[in-house]
Amino acid sequence: PDNRTKEQYELEQEFQPLFDFLAQEKKDFSEVNKYETAIIETDRKTGRDKKYSVDFDKLPSSQEGTYTITENGRKTEYPVSINDSGELSYSASVPAEYNEDLFNLHLKKDFFEKLPISDYTAEHPETYLKDISYEVDSSIPFLKQLMKKYNISQDANLSLYLENYYTQEMVYSIRIMIVDDNKILDLIYNITFKE
């Protein structure tokens, strides 16, 4: 592509399992071993934060996971599962459900192809970490919707970052951070696919 060097293009190909998964409207969790996602909202004036996270660490053999709400250091956990439609099901009432659109993050295949790459590491010499940072702004519909939903000003700073690294398994991460004068919104996904 015109907006990629050969090295950048080849590096992006190593993230193809992540891109394919994100492009699925209805997520296929049968090929996923672990799926962790978090939404962290931080009030920049008070320093208080709220964290909502969902962890499934025994996929695909178990569709059971944990939904955790952490507010001002207090953590409350709730059992959660993935139903046949790929949506979250709660076995008890929860004070706030996890944002289903963010749990099932859907980004079309060409979403990343259109974005300019601002920085990347093809392979860290010690950790084998590979990462890509993309240039993003508030004109991107997905990010514009997020900013509206979470009441963040349109002149916020935005960043989108991907990485993959190998621990005992290959882990793919995506992080989206939106920062304005009042708030920081941080979205984090860690996905491990079956090998």
Per-domain residue ranges for the chain? 6-193
- Mean pLDDT (whole number) for 164-189: 91
More confident residue, 54 or 87: 54
pLDDT for residue 2 is more than 90: no
What confidence score (pLDDT) does residue 148 get?
93
What's the confidence (pLDDT) of residue 50? 94
The model's pTM: 0.90
For position 60, what pLDDT does the model report?
Answer: 86
**Model confidence over 69-83: pLDDT tens digits?**
999 889 999 999 998
Q: Please give the pLDDT value at position 140.
A: 92
The more confident residue out of 68 and 128 is: 68
**In this structure, which topology does domain 6-193 adopt according to CATH?**
outer membrane lipoprotein receptor (LolB), chain A (2.50.20)
Please determine, for residue 176, whether its predicted confidence score (pLDDT) is greater than 90: yes
pLDDT of residue 92: 81
User: Is the pLDDT confidence value at 16 over 90?
Assistant: yes
Confidence (pLDDT) at 172? 93
The single-letter code of the amino acid at 91 is: S
The mean pLDDT value for 155-165 works out to 92
- Once rounded to an integer, what is the mean pLDDT over residues 120-127? 79
